[in-house]
């Protein structure tokens, strides 16, 4: 049997394929859109049967070209929270996902897909992955809405009885360099700190949070992969789940972990947040992990100190 990973040359997808390889699975079809980017480098070192462009793949799906597939990890999407082309996001993130999910359900193939914590909006409704509260969520950007719309569609049609969706929180780690502005703060800041020995963070424009004390649920990509692969190794588990750590940490904590991993004393300058972000900024995110824990998932998450240190030592120090 083969396993399909869309977005397999992307950030989480690349790390997922590597983990599948470690577990002895190299019967993998990778689907992505390499274009003229440097994303192709993420394929180096991976073991897989075939690479298919995302446009060709969906056409082959329509033609019934695939047999003997055990699971589809659908991680391919436009992940830019600043993307303004709503038609593109509807087509690429919503319609593509719906088509692929319908095909998987029709052929009794496990469908595991990437949703996003961006569906929670400003967090006023909390970060509880209870589907009964899903209709109340108001995403802050079109990217979040494109993910939310599929979540709602899956719930309406009863698909969560068979499929698994993961609301990824702030994932960071190796093989994200191709993501441009959507890279993690760690990836963006490493070369800056190496050159200047200091870094800039956004000031807080919220009275409840000091500068740099805005809180996020940061999850190392290796942990996010373990959460994802859990639904492959437990095919009978389905539903919509948070994919975080359950522990919020500040941007100050995160960047100080990077300074520490680089053996440099912290030097942080706080700068004004761009006007375009002020009304769309999440000051606090923290995944409620009780639902995924109830499935028997007992993985111990890495602290940001350990995760950042591993990232620096195994990847960033060799890339820069």
* Active site amino acids: 143, 179
Q: Give the distance between the most distant pair of CA atoms in the chain.
A: 58
Task: Give, in degrees to the nearest 5, the angle at Cα 70 between 65 and 76.
Answer: 75
Torsion of CA 229, 234, 236, 241, to 10 degrees: -40
DSSP-derived pairing of the beta strands 218-220 and 110-116: unpaired
Q: Confirm if 166 and 232 have CB atoms less than 8 A apart.
A: no
Q: Confirm if 63 and 48 have CB atoms less than 8 A apart.
A: no
Tokens 């909006």: give the residue. Answer: 121
Could you tell me the two tokens for 96?
Answer: 């593509």
Q: Confirm if 295 and 254 have CB atoms less than 8 A apart.
A: no
- Distance between CA 139 and CA 99 in Å, rounded? 23
Phi, psi at 216, each rounded to 5°: -135, 155
Chain Cα centroid distance, residue 4: 17
């Amino acid at each position: 049997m083969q396993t399909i990973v869309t977005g397999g040359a992307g950030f989480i997808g690349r790390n997922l394929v590597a983990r599948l390889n470690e577990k002895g699975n190299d019967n993998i079809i990778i689907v992505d859109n390499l274009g003229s980017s440097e994303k192709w480098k993420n394929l180096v070192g991976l073991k897989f049967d075939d690479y298919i462009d995302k446009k060709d793949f969906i056409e082959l799906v329509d033609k019934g070209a695939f047999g003997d597939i055990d699971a589809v990890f659908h991680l391919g999407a436009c992940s830019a929270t600043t993307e303004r082309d709503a038609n593109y996001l509807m087509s690429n993130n919503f319609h593509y996902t719906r088509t692929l999910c319908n095909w998987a359900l029709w052929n009794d193939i496990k469908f595991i897909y990437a949703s996003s914590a961006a569906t929670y909006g400003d967090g006023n409704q909390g970060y509880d992955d209870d589907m009964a509260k899903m209709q109340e969520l108001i995403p802050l950007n079109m990217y979040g809405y494109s993910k939310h719309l599929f979540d709602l569609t899956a719930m309406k049609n009863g698909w969560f009885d068979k499929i698994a969706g993961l609301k990824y929180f702030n994932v960071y780690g190796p093989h994200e360099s191709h993501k441009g502005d959507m890279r993690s703060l760690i990836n963006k800041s490493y070369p800056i700190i190496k050159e200047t020995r200091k870094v800039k963070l956004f000031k807080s424009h919220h009275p409840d949070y000091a500068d740099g004390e805005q809180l996020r649920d940061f999850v190392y990509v290796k942990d996010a992969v373990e959460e994802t692969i859990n639904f492959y190794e437990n095919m009978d588990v389905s539903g919509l789940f948070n994919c975080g750590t359950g522990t919020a940490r500040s941007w100050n904590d995160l960047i100080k972990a990077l300074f520490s991993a680089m053996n440099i004393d912290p030097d942080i300058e706080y700068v004004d947040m761009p006007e375009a972000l002020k009304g769309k900024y999440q000051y606090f995110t923290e995944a409620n992990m009780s639902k995924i824990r109830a499935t028997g998932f007992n993985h111990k998450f890495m602290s940001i100190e350990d995760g950042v240190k591993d990232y620096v030592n195994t990847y960033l120090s060799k890339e820069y």
